[in-house]
Amino acid sequence: MSTPPPLLRMVELSGAEALWLLEGSSLGRLVYAHRDATTVRPARHVWEYGRLVVRTPVPAQSVAATATYQVDEIRAVHGTGWTVTVHGPGEVITDPDEAAHHHRTLAGWTHGPHDTLLRLHPKTVTGFRLSRAAG
pLDDT in the model for residue 4: 64
Listed as ranges, residues in the chain with pLDDT below 70 are 1-6, 64, 110-113, 134-135
Boundaries of every domain in the chain: 15-127
pLDDT in the model for residue 124: 92
pLDDT in the model for residue 135: 57
Given a contact cutoff of 8 angstroms between Cβ atoms, the answer to whether 55 and 69 are in contact is no
pLDDT in the model for residue 76: 75
Number of DSSP helices (H) and strands (E) in the chain, helices first: 2, 8
Q: What is the CATH number of domain 15-127?
A: 2.30.110.10
Q: How much is the pTM?
A: 0.83
Q: What angle do CA 92, 105, 99 make, to 5 degrees?
A: 30
User: Any idea how long the chain is?
Assistant: 135
pLDDT in the model for residue 87: 93
Q: What is the pLDDT of residues 82-114, one digit of tens each?
A: 999 999 998 999 899 998 899 888 887 766 667
Reduced DSSP (H G I as helix, E B as strand, rest coil) percent helix, strand, coil of the chain, to 5: 15, 50, 35
pLDDT in the model for residue 110: 67
